[in-house]
Structure 1
Amino acid sequence: MSVIYHPHDDKAKAISYQSFYLGGDLYVAPVLDPSHMSVEVYFPGKRNETYTHVWSGIKYHGGRMARVHAPYGKPAVFIVGDPAHSDLNDFIKFVEAENGTVIQV
């Protein structure tokens, strides 16, 4: 899915199975093994594009890789840029309410 939003990003094409967009405002890099507490994430696009980790608020920039903390129950989900509409408000309220929850596996 990264290829749709970043058709000229060769790295995004090569790892399209590792992450995906949910619409244009959310970017997800799933952890497929519950024993892993982090995931290596490639953020497609240009350096001026930002991806804000919903759980920590840390901003990442396009064209870079980063290891992101993603314990069970808190997947590596990012808000892309600065959405101009309120469609994510309910999601953001959910994240704020659940951020302190710890799930044991």
Structure 2
Amino acid sequence: MTIYSTDGGRYYEGRLQLRPFNEEVYEWIKKQIDKDDFQFISREEEVKGGIDIYFTSQKNLRSLGPRLKKQFKGELKITKKLFSVNKLTSKRIYRATVLFRLEK
């Protein structure tokens, strides 16, 4: 898996929440990330009930969600939250959250 960070793991455009943690799903996600040269992980965080994986590319994260649901049975939710507004262009900048809840 490619973990790339020049700023100590703070920069990210989106996060994948995997609930509950499952080794098979986690390994599948790592393989998908390794296939893409432009997709990086800035950090991983273990949280109660699962793991959060922070991605540097929101576009790639959003495309990973539906592929994850197709491969494994579970619930998928994709949300976005306003993070900032660019002062020069007034463009809104969002952070994406992709929640994948594995069926029991």
TM-score of the superposed pair, with normalisation by structure 2: 0.32
Greater RCO, CA 8 A, separation 6+: 2
Structure with higher strand content: 2
